[in-house]
Amino acid sequence: MTVHKLLFFLFLVLLYPKAVFSQELIIPNGELNIGGTLELAEAHQKGNPLIILITGSGAQDRDETIFGFKPLKLIAEHLKENGIASFRYDDRQIGASTGDFAQATLDDLAKDVAAIMDYFQYQSDVLFDEFILLGHSQGGIVSANVASKDERVTGLILMASTTVPLKDVINEQVIILQKAAGKSEGDIQYILDFQELAYETARNNEGWEELKVDFQKLIEKEVANLPETQRQYIVDVET
């Protein structure tokens, strides 16, 4: 190798000290497929954990794209640039993933994470024995669920996630939104009382017909409180 070629090669090494690559994967979970992206740096050391990124509430793509902003992609790329491997994935029924997101419980979402860990522990070209879960918002709840049951999880990163019971979070969101809409304290309490009834009905799996009646009363009350300019367009409240 000539001196010039050697110098050019050294220049490239200094300019790009960490060669990296992204790999699109389809991971099986029973009858479902989980589509995602593995980000891996050449500097990755065998034995280092894999960080799994878990999206927040709602059906999200692997980047958690919102109005063009891709927070999980940015985090994954930053980790990769620093020699840290990560995997992010589409929620059920989104992108390359299959299944029915609307019917998925938090336990179902936790099983998706477990399937991902199984894949990278036993089937992937690059194997991992330890995992760190980075969960955003609802993803933090899913992460904690998995970590409480699986010793392979050696770390948790909770990004804007809840540290109180989920129903308390929902109630707080109801209060904030209803106050912003100009609702009175009495109206807000009426909605909170319905929320509590809904929680109990779901928890005990009984009383659904009674809940439907109360829900209709709530809707009728909400419609009655609308400005006339809006209420005139609702010709059949029962429907």
DSSP single-letter state for residue 45:
P
The residues, any chain, with a CB within 8 Å of residue 95's CB and separated by 6 or more, are 35, 61, 62
- Is there a single domain that holds both residue 196 and residue 176? yes
Whole-angstrom Cα distance, residue 89 to residue 73?
A: 10
| Total domains in the fold of the chain | 2
pTM of the model: 0.72
The residues, any chain, with a CB within 8 Å of residue 19's CB and separated by 6 or more, are 41, 42
In 3-state terms, what secondary structure has residue 23? strand
Whole-angstrom Cα distance, residue 18 to residue 8?
A: 17
Tokens of 55: 């999206």
- Is there a single domain that holds both residue 191 and residue 146? no
Is residue 7 one of the residues assigned to a domain?
no
Pick the last residue of a domain from 113, 143, 159: 159
pLDDT of residue 16: 47
Give per-residue pLDDT as tens, 70-122: 999 999 999 999 999 999 999 999 999 999 999 999 999 999 999 999 999 99
- Is there a single domain that holds both residue 86 and residue 115? yes
State the Cα angle at 212 between 209 and 216, rounded to 5°. 145
- Is there a single domain that holds both residue 209 and residue 119? no
Tokens of 210: 């009674």
Of 88, 91, 32, the C-alpha closest to 58 is 91
Q: Which domain holds residue 80?
A: 17-159
- Is there a single domain that holds both residue 151 and residue 71? yes
Amino acid in the structure at residue 120: F
- Is there a single domain that holds both residue 146 and residue 187? no
Give per-residue pLDDT as tens, 46-76: 789 999 999 999 999 999 999 999 999 999 9
Is residue 237 one of the residues assigned to a domain?
no
Tokens of 236: 């059949």
Given a cut of 60, is residue 1 above it in pLDDT? no
The residues, any chain, with a CB within 8 Å of residue 84's CB and separated by 6 or more, are 41, 44, 48, 51
CA–CA distances in Å: residue 167 to residues 102, 106, 111, 197, 206: 19, 14, 22, 12, 18
Is residue 238 one of the residues assigned to a domain?
no
- Is there a single domain that holds both residue 39 and residue 89? yes
**Strand 20-29 with 50-54, pairing:** unpaired
Give per-residue pLDDT as tens, 117-148: 999 999 998 999 999 999 999 999 999 999 99
- Is there a single domain that holds both residue 24 and residue 142? yes
Of 81, 9, 176, 99, the C-alpha closest to 89 is 99
